Structure 1
Amino acid sequence: MIRQTLHEGWHFSATSGPVPDHVAGRRIPARVPGSTHLDLHGAGLIPDPYQHLAEAELTWLHRSGWRYELGVRTTPPAPGERLDLVLEGVDTVADVAVDGRVLGRTANMHRTYRFDARTALGSGRGALSVDLSPALEYAEQREAAMGARPHVNAHPFNAVRKMACSFGWDWGPDLQTAGLWRPVRLERWRTARLDTVRTLVTVEEDGTGRVEVHAAVERDDPGAELRVSAEVAGVRTEAVLPPGSHEAVAVVRVPEVRLWWPAGHGDQPLYPLRVLLHGADGVLDTHERRTGFRTVTVDTAPDEHGTPFTVVVNGRPIFAKGANWIPDDHFLTRITRDRLARRLDQAVGAHMNMLRVWGGGIYESEDFYDLCDERGVLVWQDFPLACAAYAEDAELWHEFEAEAREHVARLTPHPSLALWNGGNENLWGFMDWGWQEPLAGRTWGHGYYTDLFPRVVAELDPTRPYSPGSPASPGHALDAVHPNDQDHGTRHEWQVWNRLDHRAYRDHVPRFCSEFGFQGPPTWRTLTDWVHDDPLTTTSPGFLLHQKAEDGNGKLARGLAPHLPEPASFTDWHWATQLVQARAVAFGVEHFRSWWPRTAGALVWQLNDCWPVTSWSAVDGDGRPKPLLYALRHAFAPRLLTVQPREGRPTLVAVNDTGERWTTRLRVRRMRLDGTVEHESSLDADIAARSAQALELSDPALTPAEAAQEVLVVDDGRTRAVHTFAADRDLAYDPGAVTATAARVPGGYHITATASSFARDTAVLADRLAPDAEADTMLVTLLPGESHTFTVRTDADLDTAALTSAPVLRSVNSLFRP
């Protein structure tokens, strides 16, 4: 197999639509892989699509067509040699031609396309063209032909196989990308090639690793005898493909393999896998990956509470600590391996062990999965369907089946891949969102979730579990158990944020909460780099364009009001809403973890952003951690102390998500905000590994004389819980409780903050002073007399006075007026 990439020398030009005069008729250099938006911006023809109001200025691209062109030069195919044109990702609807001769048509950005180019490039030269039609217009035409199906967008994204959030979402821009978004190449081969390689990895009872390699081949010589060899960890085996056969199975058994574990449960050993296709003249094709040995199931056996949803790895039940994942940039070709590595390091640094790849995005890349393999991050991969009814006509069904078969087979080697899921909120939508009347009995996607996808997974990857949707109640018909029932399977909790205060998280004990969250603005640097309103307010035009949620600012205000004083300025509003986001989500996480093993997972909405926006993310669109990420680092910590209501009484719950017993003596103090201890006692705790245990607190510990002046502190010198007896807004905080000093150190600064009175959620918002400045931790609660030293990493020279005062040095206290 010889591969020739076709990435250099492309140009593109507009072919249809409301194209501005300064763009029409121009032949513009194109990057491949790339996007029309990025190349137009690179040529100086449009503003950066993320800047200020640019998104609204670029709607003309929604209905514009483009032609990509490349003059191809290659060695003419020899007799008996195949020459294929391979396009790994076309966004989205296109005719592919050489010298005007159409090789094929694409209508699915989630698929790889392969065209026989022997005749078209028989001379070794040709003009390759890809004519892209507007995906929006194609979707409108398909919707008219199939009949409209309900969805949650202004555009019929559910009628075309394109990333749903490309059409805008309640956190994403409506920019509707177009282009060649994955590699393009020529492949020349003889006799046969490896079409797909599926690697089914299991572990036998005696600890032997079993790798079952299913190699499907495409033949150009049906009479040739072929062999497939597979090698793992120095163990090699072969299988023969007699003339006319197209698949072989080679089984490799590796004795005494080291098991792959999720982060926090063990190591992540990876083994090289090499598959070769042999013919009479030698090696014809190769396939190389890494794999890991582990078993994964989901326990859904009914119990006294309903239907659990517990991920089990290597026989061990796992509490899934993590977040939902969206594409890390709306322009997918800008997502590099290094960028993914940073994002995954941020997740693991917050003690996460699972990411759910959400159904409005894409099947994630090999880089993403490789990095998750290395870091021990379990991946829940949705099939890309979200918040809509999907027609089950033959054309769309064919596209779904083709993409599912490609990606299920592709991802089999990755030990991080734990679960296939039918889609996002579509079962729930059918039941509750008013779809049934307009559907009037027409298909809406149920056949995908209950027939096509589980059948493909069972056929191609029986080593992994499948769930029909998120949320879903596995094993129960829709008309018998609601898909969002808290007692069965997975649940999305969106009453909090949409309607209720975050304290309402405690009203439900789900078996697995796969979505919940609360909004907050991006970091100050990210916000002001992209939004240029003067003055910057919550109602200024640029800010509102970068706040996509329905009544988002209203919900932020209602979420803040019961907990914190009314902000005195936009600067205070920015800090307060970030703080409420962090508080709300951590509150939910601690509640869910306190109910382990009844509740077996908490996946926050969402880890990341795809552009600079006010959203539910813990990491903003420029990759900067918001206070929420630091709050999650505490809430997901391996050992957690949290005060939770049990039978109407505040109760200490100790959560031990480590492999060792936690035996400790806890110091219990009820103290005034000035540090005066009103009650002190001790509590012995002996918490088994991987468990949560409720510990009763005494009446004196829970009975303040003045709720506004006292707090409860429980700690063992390493792990601490702080419980207030009133809302923050009602506590008698000292606004000047925190003072600080700063000193230059190699690589940045040390800022030592000291509290003269109880100081909650102390933070250093260093990005306000330099783009690269980032604190090592945040949201540190200081008792009177305590100090904490923050490390700020930066290459910049910073003003130490600015580092040690507002608006950089903040706490809850700083929101109160003297």
Structure 2
Amino acid sequence: MALSGAIFYLLVSLNVGVLSGNRLKSSLSLDGKWRLQNSNGSLSLGAQVPGCVHSALLQQGVIQDPYYRFNDVFYQWIALENWTYTTIFSLNSPFRYTNKQLLIFDGIDTVSTISLNGITLGQTDNMFQSYVFCVWCSLQEQCSFSWDWGPSFPTMGLWKGVRLEAFDLFQIIQVSAVPLYSRSHSNIKNGLSKDQLQFMDRVESKVKLWWPRGHGDQPLYWISIRGYQRGEEILNEIVYFRTVELVQEPIPGNPGLSFYFQINGKAIFLKGSNWIPAHSFLDQVTEKTLRNLLQSVADANMNALRVWGGGVYEQDLFYILCDQMGIMVWQDFMFACALYPTEQDFIESVKEEVIQQVGRLKSHPSIIVWSGNNENEAALATDWFDIPMTERPKYVKDYVTLYVNNIRAVVLEEDQSRPFLVSSPTNGVESEQEGWVAEDPYDPLYGDTHFYSYTHDCSDWRSFPRTRFASEYGFQSWPSLSTLKQVSIEYDRKYDSAFSSHRQHHDDGNQQMLQQAALHYHLPNSTDGFKRYTDTLYITQVMQAQCVKAQTEFYRRSRSEVIEGKGLTMGALYWQLNDIWQAPSWSSIEFGGKWKMLHYFAQNFFAPVLPVGFEDEDDFFIYAVSDLSEDLRLASIYLYSWSKMHPVCSILNKQPRLIPGGSAFSIYQQPTEPLLDGCGCTRESCFLTFHLEDSRGQQVGPTNYHFLSPLKDAQGILQPNITAKVWKHNEAFIVFLQSDAIAPFVWLDVGTVLGRFSANGFLMATSNITVSFYPWRPTNITELSQSLLITTLRDVY
């Protein structure tokens, strides 16, 4: 069965107001200077709105940086206080208010619960005016980001800003559209029906569609709406058009159901990550922060993000940028990893939350699915909370009451343009057949899965579930030294320090990283404690990058095949994209925007075209994975000796197999041992590289590699003694590297000079290579050269 969505439009910008149904919304901002006070009045200070309590206390010098060392513990007293925001103002300009209008206090979401008193509407000679003399806000509840990746202090405040809104009846007279193609900037007008419904029905054949990144452009239109209120008015708005379907259908000859998204009728493999709040203090998430993170998503060949249900509904700009950049959004509602009440007042609060958020976000084409919660179906099914069997039916009933009878019901009423999933992970329609809580919500034959395993060797693809859709998976690493220096002192910079333990919120996480790394690499053993610490930071990033690479490549090569009923994988969203503070976590981007090695690897394992090598039983395979509509073939395979800079052997692919776009198939299979024997290699002395070519013989996509043994057992890895020269080229810098030997995991770090390299963490199998550096702030050759630190695997032992 397929859950289909209809063409719809996006409201982004406006001249007069925003059209909602047949009402015109007028808006008045109350942002600016407010007063913030604790319960006994011992602290009273000015505070900006948008803003939050911690930010105000920091700006006034009451507290220091809450992220510094152990301050998140020292400042927990802030969460135990009741804080009041107060402001007084007069409304001198007309703000229409009649009994046909609705007055709304906006800007609040689940971060804070706000109660309002003292709104006084004063009648004057002009019956369309109103005055608001005082707005008083008391924070009754707080929300905490104290998960296994974040600091343990609740945050609170009016971080979205505050505004008054009023709606007037608005009669539509005419609707017309002007295409504003991002590339051609065409201004050809398309006259359309005056009737809004006919306009929406007929426009489908006239417009260019919005496509996910990598599958087409994101053309936009300028919609002009002429209407009558108290005289003719015109609204101008930017809109996009697209369709979305979540396809869950029987698979001929196999058990289970498919699970994939179709955009504009085309099946799309979702490549991306999970998004968490970019800061504990959400008023400090700037436009620059969002643009940097989302550009990093695009630069890593991702096309999707899952906004995780334990965070926040993101600000409008986040979704606007996703619209513009073609980044699909899987949007959770903010319920995660917990049991929630079902008393009527809570249910009513949830209904209002869902109505407001769906109303605010439903016109964004980037959002392709709603999900009711994160992992709460799995929590009940696998008994996370040790619920007695006799009481389990009650909790299942409460689950259905909250997520099905209320959240799902409201979403289906408010938005029929996109699918709804009750939970993640879930078996989708199969969970529905089992009463909404499946016996095994992780069943790979249905829906999406979350999978974590820190004890299995991550290079063994057999440990990964061959799922229909992987919406969470990952491994931890530590951030770089330059990021940790911002919040630590020299005494803290040891792997076994109190600071290192405090920053790790995942049970046994620091040890798990070393245990996984030790399966493949020599652990740092320098007698210099500080070097051993920095080498350990490096080796955790190597481990994380290689582990997520192996798992993601497994999911991508599983998109077109079914083995024992399992497979047809159509999504890989690793956990997690960004970080909320300077600490170890599953993220591929450090707090502040610096790319970890994993994010550089993502550029390759999410590339539109990718060769994947692996071993099964006694054979070595290469699969070609392609998102494109272009046929591909395998080029030569090269075997290198670790001790030599040039290939010791090349194997010509004598039987090239053309691979159609949007698929993944085997293009090479040979027994491994004869392959090595024919080149005079052993597993420990050699490794393989390979790439794909198009029909013209040109390389397409990255060169990939396959290690034949754990690198701790590799024979012949030499000290490469890499040197570098830097020069300026236009807005970028060129880094020319020379090496004496083959070097795995070459890592270039420029400390506090924020920016990104064109490649990093790479396998250097040639004597020289050139990479580019794109700075995010002004710098020069001298600073960059002096800051550049090069680390390879051989340097850590």
- The TM tier, using the shorter chain, reads 0.7 to 0.9
Paired residues for 1:31-42 under 5 Å: 31-42=48-59
User: Residues 762-807 of structure 1: CA distance to partner in whole angstroms, max 9, x if unpaired?
Assistant: 121112xx33354332022122535344436360554677566xxx
Residues 187-266 of structure 1 aligned to structure 2 (within 5 Å): 187=165, 192-193=168-169, 226-227=171-172, 230-233=175-178, 234-238=190-194, 251=200, 253-254=202-203, 255-266=205-216
1:355 CA displacement:
0.5
Q: Look up the match of 1:698.
A: 670
Separation of aligned partners in 1, 2:54 and 2:277 = 17
Find the counterpart in structure 1 of residue 585 from structure 2: 615
Q: Which residue of 1 aligns with 2:728?
A: 745
Partner letter of residue 60 of structure 1? W
Aligned position for 1:474 = 428
Report 1:402-551 matches (<5 A). 402-435=352-385, 437=387, 440-443=392-395, 444-476=398-430, 477=434, 481-494=439-452, 496-497=453-454, 499-507=455-463, 508-551=465-508
Deviations along 1:731-789, one digit per CA (max 9) or x if unpaired, are 1253422422213325564332233332112121112xx33354332022122535344
Structure 1 letter corresponding to 2:456 = L
Give the AA of the match of 2:794. N
For 2:155, what is the secondary structure of its paired residue? coil
Instruction: Evaluate the alpha carbon distance shift between residue 315 and residue 707 of structure 1 in structure 2; reply closer, same or farther with a 3 A threshold.
Output: same
CA distance in 1, matches of 2:660, 2:629: 9
Change over 3 Å in CA distance of 1:440–1:228 after alignment to 2: farther
Gaps spanning 5+ residues in structure 2: where?
1-24, 179-189, 526-531, 561-567, 693-698
Q: 1:710 to 1:44 in 2, by over 3 A?
A: same
Write the deviation string for residues 256-278 of structure 1: whole angstroms up to 9, x where unpaired: 21121111111111123455653
Q: CA separation of 1:736/1:756 partners in 2, compared to 1, >3 Å: closer, same or farther? A: same
Identity of aligned residues (%): 27
Measured in 1, the distance between the counterparts of 2:102 and 2:382 equals 51
2:180 is the alignment partner of 1:180: no
Q: Distance in 2 between matches of 1:421 and 1:352?
A: 20
The answer on whether the counterparts of 1:83 and 1:186 sit within 8 Å (CA) in structure 2 is no
**2-side partners of 1:612 and 1:790: how far apart?**
26
The change in CA–CA distance for 1:468 and 1:38 in structure 2 (over 3 A counts) is: same
Alpha-carbon distance between aligned partners in 2 of 1:592 and 1:440, rounded to the nearest angstrom: 35
Give 1:815 shift: 2.2
How much does 1:86 deviate? 2.0
* Residue 52 (structure 1) aligns with: 69
Q: C-alpha offsets along residues 701-746 of structure 1, whole Å, 9 cap, x if unaligned?
A: 3456432211122235553221111101111253422422213325
| SS of corresponding position for 2:669 | coil
Match of 2:258 among 294, 297, 308: 308
Give 3-state SS (helix, strand or coil) of 1:368's partner: helix
Aligned equivalent of 1:585 = 548
Partner Cα distance (2:581, 2:785) in 1: 32
- Deviation track 1:188-231 (CA, whole Å, cap 9, x = no partner) reads 66xx257xxxxxxxxxxxxxxxxxxxxxxxxxxxxxxx446544
Match of 1:94 among 110, 114, 117: 114
1:723 aligns with 2:723: no
Distance 2:676 2:416 in 1: 52
- Deviation per CA, 1:336-395, whole angstroms, max 9, x where unpaired? 233212111101111001101110112222211111111111111011111112222211
- In the TM superposition, residue 594 of structure 1 has moved relative to its aligned partner by 0.8
Change in CA separation of 1:378 and 1:489 when aligned onto 2, cut-off 3 Å: same
Question: 1:283-333: CA deviations, max 9, x gaps?
Answer: 4xx765433222111111021252221111111111110101111111112
The answer for the alignment partner of 1:787 in structure 2 is 769
Q: What's the TM-score once normalised by structure 2's chain length?
A: 0.84
Is the alpha carbon distance of 1:608 and 1:480 closer, same or farther for their aligned partners in structure 2, counting shifts above 3 Å? closer
Q: Which moved more, 1:179-188 or 1:399-408?
A: 179-188
Q: CA deviation at 1:614?
A: 1.1
Aligned to 1:653: 623
Indicate the residue corresponding to 2:182 in structure 1.
none
AA in 2 matched with 1:501: D
Q: Are 1:764 and 1:803, in contact at CA under 8 Å, matched by a contact in 2? A: no
What runs of 5+ residues in structure 1 fail to find an aligned partner? 17-23, 104-115, 137-161, 195-225, 241-247
State whether residues 742 and 752 of structure 1, in contact with CA within 8 Å, keep that contact through their aligned partners in structure 2: yes
Cα drift, residue 123 of structure 1: 8.4
Trace 1:53-68 onto structure 2 (pairs within 5 A).
53-68=70-85
CA apart distance, 1:29? 0.8
TM-score relative to the length of structure 1 = 0.82
| Contact 1:77/1:83 (<8 A) preserved | no
Distance 1:556 1:275, change over 3 A: farther
**Aligned partner of residue 49 in structure 2, secondary structure:** coil
- Aligned residue pairs total 715
Given that residues 273 and 289 in structure 1 are in contact (C-alpha distance below 8 angstroms), is that contact kept between their aligned partners in structure 2? Answer: yes
- Trace 1:45-444 onto structure 2 (pairs within 5 A): 45-75=62-92, 81=98, 84=103, 86-89=105-108, 91-98=111-118, 117-118=121-122, 124=131, 126-133=133-140, 135=141, 162=143, 166-187=144-165, 192-193=168-169, 226-227=171-172, 230-233=175-178, 234-238=190-194, 251=200, 253-254=202-203, 255-275=205-225, 278-283=228-233, 289-303=237-251, 304-435=254-385, 437=387, 440-443=392-395, 444=398
One-letter amino acid of the structure 2 residue matched with residue 607 of structure 1: L
Distance 1:451 1:79, change over 3 A: closer
Q: Which amino acid aligns with 1:706?
A: T
- 1:76-106 deviations in whole A, cap 9, x for unaligned? 87996579462311642333222xxxx5xxx
Contact 1:594 1:692 in 2 (8 A): yes
Contact 2:542 2:597 in 1 (8 A): yes
- Within the alignment, does 1:755 sit opposite 2:739 as a pair? yes
Matches of 1:229 and 1:541, distance apart in 2: 67
Which residue identity is paired with 1:580? M
Greater relative CO (CA pairs within 8 A, separation 6+): 2
Amino acid at match of 1:576: I
Deviation string 1:9-31 (CA, Å, 9 cap, x unpaired) is 31111115xxxxxxx52321111
SS in 2 for 1:502: coil
Q: In 2, are the aligned partners of 1:237 and 1:252 still within 8 Å (CA)?
A: no
Query: For residue 812 of structure 1, what is the aligned residue in structure 2?
Result: 793
- For 1:614, give the aligned amino acid: P
Query: 1:796 & 1:175 partners in 2: Cα distance?
Result: 39
Instruction: Call closer, same or farther: CA 1:714–1:504 in 2, change over 3 Å.
Output: closer
Is 1:662–1:688's contact at 8 Å kept on the other side of the alignment?
yes
From 525, 536, 559, the equivalent of 2:516 is 559
How many Å separate the matches in 2 of 1:389 and 1:369? Answer: 29
* CA drift at 1:237: 4.6
**1:455–1:2 Cα change, 3 Å:** closer
CA distance in 2, matches of 1:75, 1:676: 78
Give the whole-Å Cα distance in 2 for the aligned partners of 1:360 and 1:278. 43
Q: Which residue of 2 aligns with 1:9?
A: 33
Instruction: From the superposition, tell whether residues 92 and 792 of structure 1 become closer, same or farther in structure 2 (CA, over 3 Å).
Output: closer
Equivalent residue, structure 2, for 1:159: none
Report what 2:748 is aligned to: 764
Evaluate the alpha carbon distance shift between residue 260 and residue 352 of structure 1 in structure 2; reply closer, same or farther with a 3 A threshold: same
Residue 109 (structure 1) aligns with: none
